[in-house]
Amino acid sequence: MDSLEGRGVTVAERTPPGGTAHSAGGNSAPERPDNRPGPWPAAERFLGLSDEELSAIDPVVMNLAVAKGIPALADLDIGRYVGLVDQWAAEIRALLPDAEIRFARNPAPWNNDPDLSRLGLVAWYLGEVLRVEYREDQRDLERVLYTDPTDLFLNGVMDTRRGTCGNMVLLFVVLARRLGWPVSLACVGPHFIARFDDGQKVLNVEATVSGDGRGLSSPPDRYFVHERSKGRIPQRAVDCGSDLRGLTPREMLAVFFGARARHLENVHCFGDAERDYLVARYLFPRNRQLYINQNQVSVQNSMDLFDPGEKGHPIELATWLRQVVEVAPWTRRTAAAPPGGQIDAPTTTRKDECHVNRCTDAALEAIFGGSG
């Protein structure tokens, strides 16, 4: 295995760390008492759950429940995919003892880090056993139209073994989490990576390189901010809480709603896309990509809501934005006192006082009351 220290990329060996590969098991799932067929909850029902309750929801269920809101995917058998992920995780778990022995004999290729070695086993399994690869026809495109929703959700990569950063990374995450490891999704602009964070160290995984011969790619944070040849993110994206950190279950749910919105936007269902983007931003308000996507769709919809010349039409919005930039209100630190009087002292609101953890019944009714 070669180590590309300049990029923090480790290339795993092409044989399993434990020796002989196990079978991928086809598409059949073992019977499990907790995999009984539905009814599975509609994704919108997750919005009223507390953070603790959301943390108990399997991300596979969460992801596919959102996907079922798309008419073409309404008949997805969530239980089958849950069982299949369980089966694959069990096969990886069976490889772990031999992998640990191999690591103990030669830890240097893994930077003497057993956690990196374990993540490498998952990457190897995805690439060499399941033969999961990035979609060849999308690999070098600057922009992709996701008219096929299976490109964005777990069922697509699990059925075809071809995926995108929207579903390949999530498959890596759900397998690692079933093995008990602290791995979550993380945003890098419009891209996703897997992120191991146990409170002591952080390991990033570029899960979209599975099957292309590079093994495990684990770049450090600085690579995404300073060294990436294209698609680097600014430090502000990290500082504001949008990128390069493990997402909470609530924020992962936001990403799934955002994925559904992206599909709806790309098939020109702008009204439904805007609704899903707004829900996603409610769940993850600091995410920069959701902010961009939602505003673009909202502007698109405003052309149907307002006539040219009305406040709210894109032309008037552009005029207002130009005025805002000319005034540059963000440079003002103090407000002028009115003639003959004094201004009230500014009030300070803590960030945590502004955060809403739950979606009230009234809010749910306002969002979804007309959705049927």
pLDDT for position 228: 80
Sequence-distant (6+) residues with CB within 8 A of 127 are 133, 210, 211, 212, 215
Q: What is the pLDDT of residues 49-83, one digit of tens each?
A: 999 999 999 999 999 999 999 999 999 999 999 99
CA distance 18 to 108: 16
326 confidence band (pLDDT: 50, 70, 90): confident
106-134: per-residue pLDDT in tens?
999 999 999 999 999 999 999 999 999 98
- Nearest-angstrom CA–CA distance, 126 and 142: 25
Q: How many CB atoms lie within 10 A of CB 63?
A: 28
Whether 198 has a pLDDT exceeding 70, the answer reads yes
Mean pLDDT of the 140-146 span:
75
* 2 band by pLDDT with thresholds 50, 70 and 90: very low
CB atoms under 10 Å from CB of 299, counted, come to: 15
- Asked whether 226 and 149 are in contact (CB, 8 A), the reply is no
Distance of alpha carbon 196 from alpha carbon 30, whole angstroms = 28
Of all residues in the chain, the percent with pLDDT exceeding 90 is: 63
> Is 133 strand, coil or helix?
strand
Helix locations, the chain, DSSP H = 51-55, 59-67, 78-105, 114-124, 154-160, 168-178, 221-222, 235-239, 249-266, 270-283, 288-305, 314-327, 351-354, 361-368
Q: Rounded mean pLDDT of 6-32?
A: 38
Confidence at 192, pLDDT banded by 50, 70, 90 = very high
As a whole number, the mean pLDDT across the chain is: 81
28 CB contacts (<8 Å, ≥6 apart)?
84
Q: What is the pLDDT of residue 166?
A: 87
Q: Give the Cα separation of 1 and 362 in Å (integer).
A: 56
Q: Does 338 sit behind a cis peptide bond, omega within 30 degrees of 0 on the bond before it?
A: no
Which of 21-25, 51-55, 100-104 is predicted least confidently? 21-25
Say whether pLDDT at 240 is over 70: yes
Buried/exposed 69-96: b ≥16 CB within 10 Å, e otherwise: bbeebeebbbbbbbbbbbbbbebbeebe
Higher per-residue pLDDT: 323 or 66 = 66
Q: What's the pLDDT score for residue 211? A: 47
Do 57 and 78 form a contact (C-beta atoms < 8 A)? no
| Per-residue exposure over 2-28, b if at least 16 CB sit within 10 Å of its own CB, e if not | eeeeebbbbbbeeebbbeeeeebeeee
pLDDT tens track for 215-225: 688 999 999 99
pLDDT (0 to 100) of residue 346: 40
pLDDT of residue 135: 82
Whole-prediction pTM: 0.79
241-259 mean pLDDT: 97
As a whole number of angstroms, the distance between CA 123 and CA 109 comes to 15
Q: Give all strands of the β-sheet with 183-188 in edge-to-edge order.
A: 183-188, 191-197, 202-205
